[in-house]
Structure formats: C-alpha cells, structure tokens
Structure 1
C-alpha cells in the first residue's frame, strides 16, 4: 500500500437490507458480525524495541553521535591527595603539547561555582581545597581524546596536605557529617531491652560497590545560536542536568536542552553524577566556544564518581526464647563521602527498611550521615534499601544461632501480622501482606526442612567447605520517599497515517522502559504496538 492509498488493511463490507435479500440464502448474514477485539500490547512478551539495532551495532550511544566539526575533547585533572590546600596549577608542559587547546578551571565558571545540588555543598571544580583523591580540579582540552588525557597527566598541582578522615568511625567521633543525624523511635527500646529474657550486641560493616555500567560517564555539549546549548548526556536525570548546566553557565533553563536516547547502564551511578560531566563540558565549551566531548577513562571514572554507600552498624537486640524481638537499638553510620549528593534519602531509606518484613515494637534507630575524604557516594540500585534489609537479617540470624533455632522459624516468628502488629516503625500500615502463607508454602514445596538437615549432615563431615541455605522475605517500598517526585509527564503525537509518537519523562537504560510505555500507549489508543514509537528523553 503506498502512502496515498487510504484503503484499510482489513476490508469492511457495508451492505443494505436489499443487498442481503438478493444474496444467495447460504451467504445471507443472520446477524451483524462482532467486531474483532484488538490484541493487547501490554503484558505480552516481546523484543526490546531497540534489540535488533543493539545486536547489529546500530543503536546510538553518546560516543556514536557524529562529532561536529571543531569538536574538542576534554580530560580531567584530578587531585592526587585526599585532602589538601590547593596552592597552584602548573599547566606549562601540558599546554606546550601539540594539539592542546586550553585548560579550564574554577576561574572560568560564568555562573555559580557550586553545583546546583540540593545541599549546595559541592564545588564544580576544586577551588582552594581538594577533598578527595580524584576530585576534578580542572579540564584539559585538545583535538583528540588521547592527547587530552596525556596532557592532563602533565599538569602539576601544588597541594599542601591536610588531615584526612577516611573511616566512618573516625568521622562519627569527630561529628563530621554532611547532613544532620536522624533518629526514628517507637516505644521505649531501652526499657524493652532491660525486660528482655535475652540480649545480643554486635557490630558489622558492609562495603560499597562500583556501578560498572558498560557505557562510562560521558557528555557532549554543543553551543548553539544566541547562547543556547544542546547537551547529549548518558543520564538517568535529564531535568537535573538541564538545571545544573544552566546554573553553572548563569543562563535560563530554557536555553539548555538535554537529550538522552539510551544509556549503556546506569544503576544509580548516572542519577546525579552524570550532571558533573555535562557541567564540566559546558563550561569548557563556553570558554572556547567550541563543541566539547568529555568521556571519562574507566580508571578516572572509578576515582571520580561515587559508589554504593558503605555502612557500619552497631546493635543491641532483646528477644525471648522463641526468637521474638522485644526491643532493638540500632546505630547506622553511612559513609557519604565529602558532600551530601543523595546521601540524605539513601540513609532515610535504610531507616525505612531496617525492619524489612518484621514488626519492631520497641525500637530506636539512629542514622549518622558521615563526611569523609572520599568520593561523594550516590544512588545505587536499592537506594539504601539493601543497607537496611541486611542489618535486620543479620540480627535475626544472630538470634537464631544464639538460641539454636532454625533461622526460618525466627523470621516467621517476627513477620508483620495482618490485623495486628502491622504498622511500621515510621507509622505506615502494611497492607496486602501475604508473607506468612507465601513463606510457609515455599518451605513446604522446596523441601526446606529436609534439605537443611542434609546440609547440616554434610557440614558435619566437611571441616573446611561449608554449605548454607536460607529462605528470606523482602518488603520493599517503591517510588520516591519525597512524594512530590512521584509524578511524570508525556507528550503523545497521533499522526494522520495512524502512527503514534510518544515522548515521556523516563530514561531508557536497558530495562525496556520505552517498550513498556509504547505498549501502554498502543493499548490506550487501540492501535498495534508496531504503530507506536518512543523517542529520546528530551527536556524540550
């Protein structure tokens, strides 16, 4: 069918009563045919909307975008010390290298020298003081990436070392925090601990993780006419990048457009910290009036960007002979790095998940957001939830060992109830709770008890290698704890040929969001999935 042919793909027969009378008897319709229901697009297993392009190498990531003539490449100049007073930058040797076009530092920022983050506590470039090993002091600009990176390593920084704080325990002792401590209490934990038949006390720590997205941090900034800017960035948060760039350049938000077709992974590492690269590249592009691309070398990415927040814990738990928790005092030390970033909501969510699936009647949780001379740690999948869940699971496991009970029995004993014992320590009612029947059914169908006995017998004969098995519940809160963020927008175009284009506020990072949104739009409009296209996330 050509573009001008308006004939529907499915023929429609329109007949009058006379036509039906004249038709042969065996062809005469007895009643009007029922319309065919359109096949639903959502809830159907289908290929990712760009899977074929990705397999064939045709899916565009930021580094695949053809570079505009005159594009310069940036490389970061990073602090080699964790804490010190920055007394000078000597770029003489670097600027003498063929192909090097300039250096950009804090003096070249036309707008606010502090990033437009919530806490407003992180400088765009280190100025006067460096606060962690890897902090970006300046950028080196050159005609190609490798020349820029080689030149950046020739820059000499004059830094007077200052005392460093690396561990959360040291930071806590010094009351060095990026945000004030938070305390959440219910009942009287101290009194409950005194009444408890048994008590346990313990400490443990969990480390951070590197996001290790396959596509590293990258931004490509193009100056447009009349002081407008186009920013290509691998980001989970285009709106924040737009805000940060305009703030650093000292211009209105509407002069900056941010686009992200897809990310090669994010996992939280590109929620705020993709904004740093966009700001750095924009400042360089503004100074040199040339397009600038900044793609971090993987080693630099590791040094510069934050990780999952490491946590340290101290607890005192009271319990009875059955393993039922009677009281709990819990201290959580979050290693936030040198600035707040998203440490507030991450640490808050750790508090909200310190109960996991269990009712805590008398509880006191203290959360300390410790400031250390490390990268500013940031969002990571689970967003503080895993750091909360792991502590209560560790406590219940310790209780089970102390009493000689199966950990599953201790977990079942402490689960949230249906009509009672169903309100969290932060005063939210737990609804639609199916954990007890679900877990007991799983224990039966998986032959948990029999397999635990087999494992215990095997371990008794194995002096070195041990086996283990657990059945663990999870209660996890979805959406933002700052409820004002739980909103979104979309722009839907319906064209005269029946095709549909949708642009939405989410970002595609391999999770198939564009595929899911296209399916929802197809069902709402009653058109086939193939007629709907999701476009790049775009602040315009």
Structure 2
C-alpha cells in the first residue's frame, strides 16, 4: 500500500468494535486499589476542622490522605506551583479536592469520601468578571497591552464610531473518555504511570516532584485517549500524582478515574470572557482605529491562563490590517475551577471579538458583511512584491497573505450572492422562521508561544524481519496522529505501510516531550520521525553501495523495493543483510521549528 494512500485511522476497527484499550480497560494486577477525592462544597473559605473518622472506618478503605500527610511537594500546577493536590487550610472553589480516599473499589472510595465532616468558614466568593475587577483580583499586576500605531489620536478623526460588548461563555470539553490514571510501583521506588494525558512528560515531572525522585524513575505510557481537546493537557496531573502517592504509601497498584459528575465539578473549562470594543471606520467600512478590552475569567489557579489570554490577543486582528489598534487584556482570578486549555487555546475568543466588530460595522452601513471583511484584509503580498509588508499588532510581518484571492474563489464556488438573495426573499415573506448566511475567515497560529516547546524527538527501530517500530512524543486522542506518522516513516524509508507500527507514547523512549497541542503534533513529531528515517536510509544506502558496487545516490527505496542500475532487492533482503553486516538499525530524530521567536512581555515576535 502506498505511503501516500488515503488510509483509515489505525485503530478504526477497534474503535467501532469497542475493543480499543483505554486506561480504564487495562487489566489491573491483583490487589489494585482505587481512589477518589473528597471535595469542597464551598467556593471560598478557611477549613476549620476535618473529621475523617467515618471515612477511615468505612469497609474497604485502606488509606485516607490529607495535605499534611503528603511527604513532599503538594502541587499539580502546570506552571506556577499554585495548585495544591489537596487543599491546605483554604478552599478556593466548590469542587476543590480536600482529601484522598484509597479503597478496594472505585465505588467504595466514592461512597466513603461522602462520609467526611468538614467545617469551612465561608468567605465572600468572587465568581464573576465584575466582582473580580472590583476586588482587583488578577494574576498579573495589571492588564497586558499590545499597541500598533496611535489608536487614541486616530480615533479623534474618524467618520463613524461604534462601541459594543460581547460575552463569550465557557465550555466543557466532554471528551468521551473521562480523566483516568493507573500507577504501578516498581523496584527502587520506580513508578510506571498509565495516564489519559496529552502531556506525558508533564505527568512524569509532577509525579517525580511529588515523590521526590528523579525523572528517570518515572515512566509514563499513553496508548490513546478517548478525546482531549486541551482538557487533558494539564488536568490529568492530579489523578496521576494521587495514584503515584497512594502506590508509594501502600506498595500496591493504584487506579483513579473521575465519574462524569466529578469530572465536571473538578476540572477546568474553556475560558469565558467579555470583550469590549470601540471602533472608528470610514464610509467603506475600513477600520481606522480600534480598541479592544479583553476580560478573561481564569479561575482560582494560574494553570495555562496567561498563554491562553495571550493567544486571544494574538488572534484579535484575525485577517485584518488594523492601522491603529490597542488590545488590553485582563486576567482575572475568581473562585471557580481553574480554566484551562481548550481547542483553539484563546484564539477563538480573540477572533470572535473582531468578527463581531466587522458585523457591527456592516450592519451600521447596511453593507454586505463579507465585503466589509474583504475591505479590511491585509494586502496581498503577491501583487505588491516591492511593497513593505503589513505588520500585525504583535510586530510580525505579514509576508504571504493570500486570503483575498481565496475568498473570491470561495464566494463564487459556494454561490454566496445568489444564496444571500434567496435568504433575503425568504425572510421578507416569513415573520417567524428566519434564515441566515455568513462568511468569515479564521486565522490559527500553529506553534507554542513558549518557544522551547516547539521541539520533538522520535525513535525509529527496524527489526531483522523488516518490520519497523516508531515511537515519538505525540499522543493519540482520535485525530489519527499515529497513522500520519507511520505514513511519514513509510515514505521516508520507502517501505510498505503494512510493516510499520507506532508504539504507545513512552517517556522512557523519547524524553522531554511537549504536549500534543497547538495543532503541532503532526508537524513536530512528523519531522522528528523523518529525521530518524533519513539517518537510517543513509546507513542502508551506504551498505548497499559497498556491497553491490553502486553509488549511494543511485539507490532508490520505494514501495518495499530497493533498486539501483542492474540491481533489484526487497526491503527485507536489505535489512537482513545490513543486520549481518552489523549496521545499526535504530536511530533517533530531532526537530525544532525554525524562525520562531516570541517575547511575551514585549508582545513581539
């Protein structure tokens, strides 16, 4: 089968038959214990007393842990060490874990957790954006601001001016597979963790920190997730750390999964926010000056809120050349779940803001909204090769903008104008049922704003029968990443797709990985796999050249055959021969994205 063929997901049969194995499906060793958190019912307050006697006396309970019982770091934060695994004297949101129950079964642990008697002196809770603003409750000393041009002075000379506000709600990820982890204690205090996570290396770091052991003593394995959407980038830390701690205390395997209601209550969501805007524009709808103010409700702990809010600012221009613009972003601390990564990672919020502005302008001028958008696009660089490129609000040159021609093609192909006229006719004759049609561009930055995360590694191993096993730092959550990377390997090695497999993501094979996020999984890990394959092909070509008296550049590997002038060999023959000649059939690959530089404090890069 060709490496370029359109193939189904590598686990498609398992998915539809129900045989795909997730963390909760892994056969557990005899004696495995199960965990559940005891949660706060109060959004803000001081813990006055905790009576867990009834919990400890419950049949099947082996261990109950509070913050004071933890031997080392009590933190599961991905960023600022401000997120204790178990509340330490104070609660910050309704649903915050206060204690941990370790019992013979999942249901026994959950039932026992409900028997606790906890006294909390409630304090005023900050739940809304307005309450947080009034209390100056925020994660940075003040708002972050990007400015391009002179928006305040430019606003004074505008022909038309509008103000508005849009409120964007949060979202629950609702991955089909909930949060889950399994910890298996090993020799010398080592720990093997199976986790439903988008970030195995972060799980490794947090477990090592909680147990005060070296990172090489923690191995994290992820075969697949039943969906992630950003909700498993950092939110799996608590379960993995809890299981590792319990396994360390008891010497027994420990497993934890959230019931769906616990998952809803404990874990973070998409950041909800409010966006205020003040825009000035001319008679054609071209924006002359614009001021945005973003108010992000981040929750009780920092998590990934700063880069999420940053990315909203980076997407606030979307596809539009704004000559004078100011973007102000408030990151507000509230007594709610810590909002976290969610598909788009702040980008959707930023783009919805500017798209609302475009619609508001079009409505006020009675113009076609699609046309107003086109008039505000960045200029096509292909038509002005000598012109100085336009610059985004974050000081990046726009050098390859092609959306103008693309928009023209899309509007023609979808018959936009005829359909818009039909919508108008329908709406004129129907008082209650209305129709609509809309067009809008979408920009998405495919990289991490934390520059050092834009790297990946891979390990590719060829066995003596010609089969190939690849391991990489990306995680599979239904998006087909493993199949994509086996296709990269098949193309790079010139081998048949059928002989190549991707193994479960494993921190002991590829270290120091980045999260599978920012739409970068295939880009980063694919290039790392290709680099490893290129190394192997170089060795194999040198071997075939020396053995058969041909030049390396004359040798071609394709579709399982190796050819050169006067020579035809099978892939398996070459591999067997290389092994016998003591040629290394294992290679690592590494990739770092070029031309990326970002200074988040300056807001430039």
Q: TM-score, normalised by structure 1?
A: 0.91
Task: Report the secondary structure of 1:195's partner residue.
Answer: coil
Q: 2:307 aligns with which of 331, 345, 350?
A: 345
Question: What is residue 514 of structure 1 aligned with on the other side?
Answer: 482
Question: What is residue 190 of structure 1 aligned with on the other side?
Answer: 152
Q: 2:210 aligns with which of 215, 230, 248?
A: 248
Shift of 1:275: 1.1
Q: Does 1:97 align with 2:58?
A: yes
Q: Does 1:502 align with 2:463?
A: no
Task: Report the secondary structure of 2:456's partner residue.
Answer: coil
Shift of 1:424: 0.9
Spell out the pairing of 1:64-463 with structure 2 (5 A cutoff): 64-115=25-76, 117-180=78-141, 181-419=143-381, 422-463=390-431
Aligned residues: 501
Shift of 1:461: 2.4
Please say if residues 213 and 266 of structure 1, whose CA atoms lie closer than 8 Å, have aligned partners that are also in contact: yes
Task: Report the secondary structure of 2:331's partner residue.
Answer: strand
CA distance in 2, matches of 1:249, 1:266: 27
CA distance in 1, matches of 2:41, 2:347: 33
Identify which range, 161-170 or 54-63, moves more after superposition.
54-63
Please identify runs of 4+ aligned residues in structure 1 that moved more than 6 A: none
Shift of 1:77: 0.5
Shift of 1:470: 0.7
Task: Report the secondary structure of 1:141's partner residue.
Answer: strand
Task: Report the secondary structure of 1:235's partner residue.
Answer: coil
Please say if residues 94 and 151 of structure 1, whose CA atoms lie closer than 8 Å, have aligned partners that are also in contact: yes
CA distance in 1, matches of 2:366, 2:17: 57
Task: Report the secondary structure of 2:162's partner residue.
Answer: strand
Per-residue CA deviations over 1:440-479 (Å, capped at 9, x if unaligned) read: 2222232212221221222122222221111111121111
Could you tell me which runs of 5 or more consecutive residues in structure 1 were left unpaired when the two chains were aligned: 1-38
Please say if residues 77 and 84 of structure 2, whose CA atoms lie closer than 8 Å, have aligned partners that are also in contact: no
CA distance in 1, matches of 2:456, 2:40: 39
Task: Report the secondary structure of 2:140's partner residue.
Answer: strand
Please say if residues 179 and 340 of structure 1, whose CA atoms lie closer than 8 Å, have aligned partners that are also in contact: no
CA distance in 1, matches of 2:276, 2:77: 35
Task: Report the secondary structure of 1:328's partner residue.
Answer: strand
Per-residue CA deviations over 1:204-254 (Å, capped at 9, x if unaligned) read: 110011000111000111111111101110000000000011111111111
Please say if residues 134 and 304 of structure 1, whose CA atoms lie closer than 8 Å, have aligned partners that are also in contact: yes
Task: Report the secondary structure of 2:332's partner residue.
Answer: strand
CA distance in 2, matches of 1:103, 1:322: 67
CA distance in 2, matches of 1:88, 1:288: 26
Shift of 1:329: 0.8
Please say if residues 35 and 100 of structure 2, whose CA atoms lie closer than 8 Å, have aligned partners that are also in contact: yes
Shift of 1:53: 2.5
Task: Report the secondary structure of 2:303's partner residue.
Answer: coil
Please say if residues 77 and 234 of structure 2, whose CA atoms lie closer than 8 Å, have aligned partners that are also in contact: no
Q: 1:473 aligns with which of 432, 441, 461?
A: 441
Shift of 1:376: 0.4
Task: Report the secondary structure of 2:19's partner residue.
Answer: coil
CA distance in 1, matches of 2:475, 2:254: 23
Q: Does 1:490 align with 2:458?
A: yes
Shift of 1:397: 0.2
CA-based RMSD of the aligned residues comes to 1.3
CA distance in 2, matches of 1:447, 1:313: 33
Question: What is residue 22 of structure 1 aligned with on the other side?
Answer: none
Please say if residues 278 and 290 of structure 2, whose CA atoms lie closer than 8 Å, have aligned partners that are also in contact: yes
Task: Report the secondary structure of 1:396's partner residue.
Answer: helix
Task: Report the secondary structure of 2:498's partner residue.
Answer: helix
Please say if residues 201 and 507 of structure 2, whose CA atoms lie closer than 8 Å, have aligned partners that are also in contact: yes
Task: Report the secondary structure of 1:322's partner residue.
Answer: coil
Please say if residues 189 and 248 of structure 2, whose CA atoms lie closer than 8 Å, have aligned partners that are also in contact: no
Please say if residues 275 and 295 of structure 2, whose CA atoms lie closer than 8 Å, have aligned partners that are also in contact: yes
CA distance in 2, matches of 1:333, 1:491: 43
Question: What is residue 8 of structure 1 aligned with on the other side?
Answer: none
Shift of 1:381: 0.6
Shift of 1:500: 0.6
CA distance in 2, matches of 1:183, 1:284: 45
CA distance in 2, matches of 1:145, 1:489: 37
Q: Does 1:531 align with 2:499?
A: yes
CA distance in 1, matches of 2:77, 2:264: 23
CA distance in 2, matches of 1:446, 1:60: 42
Please say if residues 184 and 254 of structure 2, whose CA atoms lie closer than 8 Å, have aligned partners that are also in contact: yes
Task: Report the secondary structure of 1:88's partner residue.
Answer: strand
Based on CA coordinates, which of the two structures has the bigger radius of gyration?
1
Please say if residues 78 and 304 of structure 2, whose CA atoms lie closer than 8 Å, have aligned partners that are also in contact: no
CA distance in 2, matches of 1:120, 1:96: 33
Shift of 1:116: 5.2
Shift of 1:418: 2.2
Shift of 1:192: 1.2
Shift of 1:509: 0.5
